[in-house]
Each structure stands twice: as structure tokens, then as C-alpha cells.
Structure 1
């Protein structure tokens, strides 16, 4: 994936439109709802699989200051050392993502009294920024793969200890 493909993909994404229906695939665990994350104590009706995922999962980053769980500082260091034109492209994609997220529908991102829409929005921004850095440095990898999941209308929201991505 290159930067032009990322820009095109972001312009067409229907953010979170298919959340809750991810079919699953190798290295990715689907969740059908967010009920297991409604409180710190699991309700009686929560199925065992969702409760286990919720107990073990770390949320993927939801703001730009959080650490990259896949690359550490590698991508940010590469961006810092990159040509100013590359830095500008990364910022342009970030702004395009912010703009495209304005029309997202948050209805699938609530559970009980909890609204996960800000976390979802923040994680989408983080992902698009990191995917752009991967593409700009010629090393498309995990973040580009996750952007593909977003582009299909899902929310890659967490990481399990075994390295599996949790997708809503």
C-alpha cells in the first residue's frame, strides 16, 4: 500500500459500518458486541469467550501520544528523520482522516451506558497516521493491514497477549 492508496481508501471508508460482524481470520479474534466492556465486573449474561477476551485484551492506541504496540518508537523516529515533504503528507492524511470521521455513525459503538465512539475515532486516527508512516518509509506492515480492516467497516480495537488482534 502506498500513500495515494491510503488517501483513496480513507476517502471511501464507511467507518465502523460493519462493526460486530467481523467473520474472523487467522490472527484476528472477532467480537460481536461490546457488552463485556460495559463495566469492570462481568455481568451474568456475558458469554465466556467475550469475557475472556475482555479480561486479556489491551486496547489499541486511541490517541497520538500512546506507544505503538507493534513497533515501539521505530515509526515515529523514521518520521522525525524523514524529509519534511513526507512529514507534510502524513499530516495531510491525518487531516483527511479527521474530516472523513465526521460523518461516522456512532450507533454501533455504544453498549449500555458506554459510548466507545471517541475511542474508535481516536484509534482510527492513530492507525491512519501509522499506516501512512509505514507506507512513506516503504515498509507497509501491521498498520496498513489494520487500515484494510477499518476500510471494510470494522474496528480493530485490541491486542491479546498471543498477538491476535481483537476486531469488532
Structure 2
């Protein structure tokens, strides 16, 4: 799925069950760097096989090479969210791999599927719904 992902090609459109980020609903950003805590698993999932996670992240890095430094739809005035969006991909893919290796594919796998469709699942609504850019 990673190699064929349509990174950030369907921004501004909400897939079924998602809400656009410009909504007035209360929501919180999903992590965009590896050092942030996992907001979906408390306590966090322990890594089963870090080699698998590393391999998936490396494949993701190769796949993301086609993403420009500034995706026009991710630039809002002086703010360029492209780096945050690609960092969020790395976080999501790593945690989806962890869900799979622990035998519990869950929300991170769902989020990676949204990335594959071209969306940026950037946040969680207070009601648990996924917010997309």
C-alpha cells in the first residue's frame, strides 16, 4: 500500500466518515514527529519487531520522495504544513505496523488507508472521528 499511495492528492475532500479540518468542531492534531506519544493507544503498544517498523518507515521515505517541498494545498499563507504532513505519515505508518505485528490492526491502519486515498488525516475530533485536511 505504501508504494502505491497517492500522497496528498485528494486534499480538501472528506472521505466517508471523516470531517474537514476547517470545521468548527473541536479537534486535536495527530502526531507529526516520532517523539510524540500515541494518542490512540493508552498505554502505548509495545513494539514487537522494531526491524519491521524500520523497514516500513524506510519504504515510506522512498515513496514520499515524490512529494514536493511545498504541496500547494498544504500552504496556508506563511505556513507550510507539508513537513508536518509527511512527518505524520511516518508516525502513522510506524504505528500501523506495530498494530499489525501485535495482531491488532486498528485505528492507525485505518488512518494509513486514508493516506493511501490521498487525504491527510491530521486530527481527531473530540468525539473520536478523524479530521482530514
Shared fold per TM-score greater than 0.5:
yes
State the partner residue of 1:112.
77
State the partner residue of 1:97.
60
- TM value normalised by structure 1: 0.73
Alignment of 1:1-168 (within 5 A): 9-25=1-17, 28-31=18-21, 50=23, 52-53=24-25, 56-75=26-45, 77=46, 79=47, 82=48, 86-105=49-68, 106-168=71-133
Secondary structure of residue in 1 paired with 2:55: helix
CA drift at 1:94: 0.6
Flag the structure with higher helix content. Answer: 1
Quote the Cα distance in structure 2 between the aligned partners of 1:73 and 1:91: 22
Figure out how many residues of one structure are paired with residues of the other and give that number: 131
Quote the Cα distance in structure 1 between the aligned partners of 2:103 and 2:112: 16
Structure 1 stretches of 4+ moved >6 Å: none
- TM value normalised by structure 2: 0.91
Quote the Cα distance in structure 2 between the aligned partners of 1:29 and 1:147: 16
Secondary structure of residue in 2 paired with 1:12: coil
| Larger Rg, first or second structure (1 or 2) | 1
Aligned-residue Cα RMSD (Å) equals 1.4
CA drift at 1:96: 0.9
